[in-house]
A = this chain, B = another copy of it.
């Protein structure tokens, strides 16, 4: 914790904050996305009774209704292309929202599905996507209960965009979030990173990386239930999607006013993904995942939760990657392979547009 920070290599791109129009980066889950939410949507939506919930900016809103403690989360999926190694936009949309609900500690229960279809889309293709959605929902034990279909004219969509919104039940007494993250917490990652982003990139760019890299798209509600059932004192969970593990750790460092210290060599990255990232000039920590989670756990419970995770199919590769520190609040610092340290920055925009 007392190592001197090496601030060289801290990326500080010129901000493009004053441009008057939406650019791709506003949807990338990076700083531009965060600024749009913080400076445009949050003020516009303020003043309603639950404005505080919105301001938490969590993956899911958690609130009481009719005696139940609900988690509620929405995501639109615009991934391009719609079919990619390891999945398609349909299972991505189901798993993604299940995961956002689950990260609040809730058990996801029901999903809504809203599709925006582009005129000309093959109905057969829509059928394959919908079938995959049903399969994903059944696998996760979550019901699709309501939906909506809109069609836009050719040239105003891209085949199909899907919004899924999920509702789940938070068990009594459970309280997860950045307010519970504190110095000493062990940071646990559920498995190897970067697979979803590289899978998309490979098919989009027609790249071949020797073997197929498959998206890791998976429902994490079962893994979360297993972790909570272990009795471990989990303080927070988040799935590192857009912006990758780097964005997730930075957001939580900022929201919890803590520092994060990670050991780069402890972060699992498959060889194929590492090679592809090298080829493409990407940092695996900034690449999107769709079936991984980061958890912050009381240090005395880290082994307990890791053992529980190792017994679950989506947690076999779980490992601790670092810890929360009092130093440098808001900053994520990595110990590099060559023994130095670097600041793990929060990308200004996304490296890979339309990744989910």
Closest B residue to A48 using CB positions:
B143
CB pair B165–A126 under 8 Å, yes or no, is no
Whether A127 is near chain B, meaning CB under 8 Å from some CB there, is yes
| Those of A176-214 within 8 Å (CB) of chain B | none
Q: Contacting A147 at CB < 8 Å: which of B37, B70, B137, B142?
A: B37
User: Which of A19, A40, A68, A145 gathers most chain B CB within 10 Å?
Assistant: A145
Say how many copies of this protein the assembly contains: 2
Residues of B within 8 Å of A86, CB to CB, are none
Contacts A21-B123, A40-B123, A40-B127 hold; do A74 and B146 have CB atoms under 8 A apart?
A: yes
CB pair B20–A143 under 8 Å, yes or no, is no
In the bound assembly, the distance between CA atoms of A49 and B110 in angstroms comes to: 9
| Those of A32-64 within 8 Å (CB) of chain B | 33, 36-37, 40-41, 44-51, 53-54, 58, 60-61, 63
Q: Contacting A153 at CB < 8 Å: which of B24, B54, B75, B169?
A: B24
Whether A23 is near chain B, meaning CB under 8 Å from some CB there, is yes
Whether A268 is near chain B, meaning CB under 8 Å from some CB there, is no
- In this complex, how many residues of chain A approach chain B with their Cβ under 8 Å: the count is 89
CB pair A24–B151 under 8 Å, yes or no, is yes
CB pair B74–A124 under 8 Å, yes or no, is no
In the bound assembly, the distance between CA atoms of A20 and B354 in angstroms comes to: 27
Q: Contacting A48 at CB < 8 Å: which of B123, B144, B150, B153?
A: B144
Contacts A40-B126, A70-B65 hold; do A163 and B76 have CB atoms under 8 A apart?
A: yes
Whether A173 is near chain B, meaning CB under 8 Å from some CB there, is no
Closest B residue to A90 using CB positions:
B44
CB pair B22–A126 under 8 Å, yes or no, is yes
| Those of A92-149 within 8 Å (CB) of chain B | 109-110, 112-124, 126-127, 130-131, 133-134, 137-138, 141-149
Whether A69 is near chain B, meaning CB under 8 Å from some CB there, is yes
Whether A72 is near chain B, meaning CB under 8 Å from some CB there, is yes
**A152 → B minimal CB distance (Å):** 5
In the bound assembly, the distance between CA atoms of A120 and B66 in angstroms comes to: 42
Residues of A within 8 A of B (CB): 19-28, 33, 36-37, 40-41, 44-51, 53-54, 58, 60-61, 63, 65-70, 72-78, 109-110, 112-124, 126-127, 130-131, 133-134, 137-138, 141-153, 155-158, 161, 163, 165, 167, 169, 353-354
A-B contact pairs, 11 of them (CB 8 A): A23-B119, A25-B151, A40-B126, A40-B127, A48-B138, A50-B143, A51-B143, A66-B66, A67-B67, A74-B112, A112-B165
Please give 14 more A-B residue pairs, beta carbons under 8 A apart, in addition to A63-B145, A74-B112, A75-B148.
Answer: A21-B121, A24-B153, A28-B151, A40-B130, A41-B149, A50-B145, A60-B146, A61-B145, A66-B68, A74-B165, A76-B150, A78-B150, A112-B165, A155-B155
